[in-house]
Structure 1
């Protein structure tokens, strides 16, 4: 985040850059680790870290694209060339992707719902940490977050769920805002 921009200004104008508009460069490993260190500073009742992070970059992303294409073809039958290409590039559209993986599970003291919310907080913190470092990011899931075979290819373990795939990189695309809810439509005072 530009030092001249206050957090409140960022929050008032926060938006996601479309994945198709994200390009290189992305953060190198040391800078990424600083971003991730900030991202995991979220509410975490019981300090149990009910999430983990997976970084996808480089050759693995192209390999995953081929796996996604194979899975999609088996499930959908004949696909157009554009649909095939969409699967091939699903994880190469941005320089890197961080998977935020929820490990929420029954716990004697910590409600599972709170654990799920903590993983969502990691996703949002990750978006803000990227912005603070001058990068753009987009929080996605898409079908691969819910497909058993795709989850296996992604290294997601049984009992885990994808809270989000955060696509990270750079962009000079002027992202237009979208309609937002009016506060008067969603706010009540008890």
Structure 2
């Protein structure tokens, strides 16, 4: 069953052309990683999704982003190394916390690690490049759902740990900004309350 879009009332009339055009945006929602299963996008499909996802605002055409995939047994190995890194970084970490490291990457069949490439730039501020990279993550989730898949964007301590970044082969100027879990939803995911844009909008007048 396709979830009903969470759209403002004035756009909800049947047959509304704008509503139809924005349907994929209006129905986007995160699927919990434990509710993602095979199939996931294969390599060719993922490249097609990324072709759409990388059409983002990019001041200076810096392309300050790249992607690393975790599939198959690599997900288990990554979880094991993540758990070892966690024990190394925090000797007081509980076994239940360590167990989450081991388990988190075994549910969704595909994890795309979103990497922002930052560092010094003579013209483009780091914040603008970081925002460009972030836009690709959201666009990838949109593209995946439009193709019939589901996904969620997670971070956690691993996204901010330089030991994990090194484990993934990142250089000093590169940073993990998200682990995007992709697969096929195992069940319908209910919608949640969305903000009313009218309460967020104001008009500046001189």
Using structure 1 for the length normalisation, give the TM-score. 0.88
Match of 2:41 in 1: 27
Q: How far, CA to CA, are the matches of 2:58 and 2:147 in structure 1?
A: 24
- For the pair shown, the structure with the greater C-alpha radius of gyration is 2
Q: How far has the Cα of 1:7 moved from its partner?
A: 4.4
Match of 2:161 in 1: 147
Q: How far, CA to CA, are the matches of 2:21 and 2:129 in structure 1?
A: 26
Q: Count how many residue pairs are aligned between Structure 1 and Structure 2.
A: 186
Match of 2:23 in 1: 9
SS of the residue 1:149 aligns to: helix
Q: Which runs of 5+ in 1 are unaligned?
A: none
Q: Which residue of 55, 58, 62 maps to 1:48?
A: 62
Q: How far has the Cα of 1:30 moved from its partner?
A: 1.2
Q: How far has the Cα of 1:78 moved from its partner?
A: 5.7
SS of the residue 2:140 aligns to: helix
Using structure 2 for the length normalisation, give the TM-score. 0.82
Superposed counterparts of 1:51-90, under 5 Å: 51-74=65-88, 75-77=90-92, 79-80=94-95, 82-90=96-104
Superposed counterparts of 1:61-140, under 5 Å: 61-74=75-88, 75-77=90-92, 79-80=94-95, 82-140=96-154
The answer to whether structure 1 residue 160 and structure 2 residue 174 are counterparts is: yes
Q: Which runs of 5+ in 2 are unaligned?
A: 3-18
SS of the residue 2:185 aligns to: coil
Runs of 4+ in 1 over 4 A off after TM superposition: none
SS of the residue 1:105 aligns to: coil
